[in-house]
Structure 1
């Protein structure tokens, strides 16, 4: 049953991508992509239920893995894929690219395929290939609008990220070499094999391998200072692609760092690997705060928010323990919902007002009442304000920092969150309460563009008012899986 489920999960976007290319009709492509997204979401929910049973399951010669950490990342990716597919129906029709829409949806489904497949890879080498494929496919989506800024962002994206991924490959090779002294010249590069062999490996080799992987996959995650591709790519992509980049892709890359960290922990390499992870996480929150305060572009504002939230997630995993892992995973889900909402709102505002500048957008609540309240609520939520889900996840991560002996890091994070709250909402004060500079009355977005904002906000609010007990049990399973079964 579980094996068939994974075939459906991966097969749905694969079939959608192929069908969109073969038929090459815009309406058919958007419909088949939406159907694939619904199927993938249902399969991801069932995959989490199966993973909640404990343990891990492997298929196809041990190359495919379904465990609690991977299933959770797949679920977050499937949620964003579904929301973005709904939104794309209304948004992409506004671009005037009817002849190219079938190719867009083929690439969009293929992008979802790579994101959903990556967390299921039970081999460090295959995982690297899956993450590299996300880069190759999404580059064409970043450049889809073919404007000068989009083309520049696509080139910057593929060059910077590919360089980072190459560093991750070097770290993987060094890790394999270190394992060869224990397991022989050839062995399966599965996560469990590496974790079991780690205590016998050379700690210096393992530490070097992890640091290279941290820098490499950290580039893909958008951790500062390797984040330089992210603001351009997120701001120049079509809004549904920006949502996928921020709410789904970054999570898939974060999982690689977390799996390698569990191997370093099993080897007893000391505090350096975890300290480096925490250091990059805190620096990312700092960079996000500084650039959020002075930002002038609406989608770049959302992009630097992604840098901030990936840093917060890194702090949660870095602090470790059941509470830190739970906070990071809860943050992952809430951020996926919240950032989808924010990019959808930004896309609506940009199309309605005809500008990307914050100063060119004004009196949103009066001019766009259907989406104004939704976007403003999302803005409050993304800053970690109650009663939304990110407030609970950030609070859990702060508590994990104090309990884990990282009090000064937790205090620094709390201070930066206050700065971000003030800076981010000040931009929304401009867009909601000041006159737009040189714009006519904007056109209202379609229901396709507003409905997914509701679908993102309502669970975001529910998760802020109620932390499900089943989630806590599931997060404990993830913490045990990452610690090799140790409590």
Structure 2
């Protein structure tokens, strides 16, 4: 079953692309892309349910389907489906009917490359897949062909490609480290590296991981390698921004986590974990500073992505059952929440004809339904209860407060409060300050632009109130496969014991 689901996952967007190339009609392209997204989402659900703990391998072990990769694919499939629904309303407002079929070809190809990356069992091929996401998404970032979007596309591909080059060097060094115990040539897979890790030189491993962390961290948007992210997220069409933030960043983070597992197998915990935590905290600091003084609505969402990828990095750096579970749960909640936020930002931009928050006023008055959904998403994205991000952030904080990450957990908690105040202050201005009496009335939005906002918000509320037991078990499997230093945070494991009260115990 899992093999068939994996084939369907890849075949659905691939077949849609082929048909769109043969019959490049806008309406048909919309339908084909939405159909492919729906099928891919169904296949991703099957993969998450059926993925074995140690992974299923196909095509001479070049393809692996394991719980970590399956989870990243599910997050991407959710965003792809929501963004495809939203695109039917949003893209028609751009007056780009002649190029609309080309957009959906690239959009489906972008989703295909994101799906492919977590399936790659060879680290070198994984690097190629991540680089392919860069090439494809560059054309989507610059799709509107405005000077700003073209500049953002160039900046994106240059900075990310430079970072990915460092990741390639780190991959080569990992391979070289393995030759000392496996011989001059061997089939490089994630399992092979983990098997050989105890026999590798520790200094070489740490250097290799640092290069990989900086390289793929550039793609993730961790500070200070994040400089491409605000421009790319703000200048691309809103559906593309949602895919960049909610799907692509997770796929790059998965590579860092897989390399982290290699160092853990070599009994290296302190250095790589602390590196992840430091980059995560730095990302939170940078995000807080720029969120407070931000003026562009989509750039505000972009710096929020820097914040939340930093939180995910901190979670994996803390490790243990709570740290890993919180980080993975945060991936899902962030994918849902950031899709909602970019959809709302897209509606505001198209309605008011501006990206400047100073010119968006009385949004809730003009658009009661989408305004209420967007405001609820803004509250959720700051980590406020009762939404899913609150549950995942509290879980990560508990992992830090219970172990050696106390300083990072304290800094994270303080910065989350600062971001909460700064982020919602912008929404206070956009919703409750008086509009310019001479400003033209805003344009109406399509129902296609509102439905996916509902579909994103409702699960966020459910996941904030109820953490499915099956997800907790899957997260424990991933934590075991990563080999996180559970002993480093003994109180976190104790806090998760069945004897603790439910409100303190968290997910069970």
TM range (shorter): over 0.9
Q: How far 1:485 moved relative to its partner?
A: 12
Please give the alpha-carbon distance, in whole angstroms, between the structure 2 residues aligned to 1:7 and 1:147.
38
Q: Which residue of 2 aligns with 1:469?
A: 469
**Equivalent position SS for 2:450:** helix
Q: CA RMSD in A?
A: 1.2
Please give the alpha-carbon distance, in whole angstroms, between the structure 2 residues aligned to 1:145 and 1:359.
23
Please give the alpha-carbon distance, in whole angstroms, between the structure 2 residues aligned to 1:98 and 1:24.
11
Q: How far 1:486 moved relative to its partner?
A: 9.2
Please give the alpha-carbon distance, in whole angstroms, between the structure 1 residues aligned to 2:85 and 2:375.
21
Q: How far 1:408 moved relative to its partner?
A: 1.1
Q: 1:203-247: per-residue Cα shift (whole Å, max 9, x none)? A: 011110000000000000000000000000000000000000000
Please give the alpha-carbon distance, in whole angstroms, between the structure 1 residues aligned to 2:60 and 2:474.
27
Q: How far 1:484 moved relative to its partner?
A: 8.8
Q: Which residue of 1 aligns with 2:32?
A: 32
Q: What pairs with 1:18-167 in structure 2 (closer than 5 Å)?
A: 18-51=18-51, 53-167=52-166
Report the TM-score, using the length of structure 1 for normalisation.
0.98
Q: How far 1:269 moved relative to its partner?
A: 2.9
Q: How far 1:169 moved relative to its partner?
A: 0.1
Q: Which residue of 1 aligns with 2:401?
A: 402
Report the TM-score, using the length of structure 2 for normalisation.
0.94
In the alignment, is the contact (CA less than 8 A) between 1:277 and 1:314 conserved in 2? yes
Q: How far 1:435 moved relative to its partner?
A: 2.5
Q: What pairs with 1:192-207 in structure 2 (closer than 5 Å)?
A: 192-207=191-206
Q: Which residue of 2 aligns with 1:479?
A: 479
Tell me how many residue pairs correspond in the alignment.
486
Q: How far 1:82 moved relative to its partner?
A: 0.2
Q: Which residue of 1 aligns with 2:364?
A: 365
**Equivalent position SS for 1:170:** helix
Q: What pairs with 1:239-278 in structure 2 (closer than 5 Å)?
A: 239-278=238-277
Matched, 1:433 2:432: yes
The 1:486–1:395 alpha-carbon spacing in structure 2 relative to 1, beyond 3 Å, is: closer
Q: 1:332-353: per-residue Cα shift (whole Å, max 9, x none)? A: 0000000000000000000000
Q: How far 1:270 moved relative to its partner?
A: 4.6
Q: Which residue of 1 aligns with 2:496?
A: none
Q: How far 1:404 moved relative to its partner?
A: 2.5
Please give the alpha-carbon distance, in whole angstroms, between the structure 2 residues aligned to 1:107 and 1:439.
36
The 1:167–1:373 alpha-carbon spacing in structure 2 relative to 1, beyond 3 Å, is: same
In the alignment, is the contact (CA less than 8 A) between 2:319 and 2:485 conserved in 1? no
Segment of structure 1 superposing worse, 16-25 or 338-347: 16-25
Q: Which residue of 2 aligns with 1:413?
A: 412
Please give the alpha-carbon distance, in whole angstroms, between the structure 2 residues aligned to 1:123 and 1:486.
27
- The list of structure 1 runs, each at least 4 consecutive aligned residues, that deviate by more than 6 angstroms after superposition, is 484-487
In the alignment, is the contact (CA less than 8 A) between 2:264 and 2:484 conserved in 1? no
In the alignment, is the contact (CA less than 8 A) between 2:167 and 2:211 conserved in 1? yes
Which blocks of at least 5 consecutive residues in structure 2 are unaligned?
A: 488-508
Q: 1:77-113: per-residue Cα shift (whole Å, max 9, x none)? A: 0000000000001100111010100000000000000
Q: Which residue of 1 aligns with 2:312?
A: 313
Please give the alpha-carbon distance, in whole angstroms, between the structure 2 residues aligned to 1:124 and 1:398.
31
Q: How far 1:54 moved relative to its partner?
A: 2.7
**Equivalent position SS for 2:386:** coil
Q: Which residue of 2 aligns with 1:342?
A: 341
In the alignment, is the contact (CA less than 8 A) between 2:291 and 2:422 conserved in 1? yes
Q: Which residue of 2 aligns with 1:215?
A: 214
Matched, 1:287 2:286: yes
Which blocks of at least 5 consecutive residues in structure 1 are unaligned?
A: none
In the alignment, is the contact (CA less than 8 A) between 1:337 and 1:457 conserved in 2? yes
Q: Which residue of 2 aligns with 1:449?
A: 449
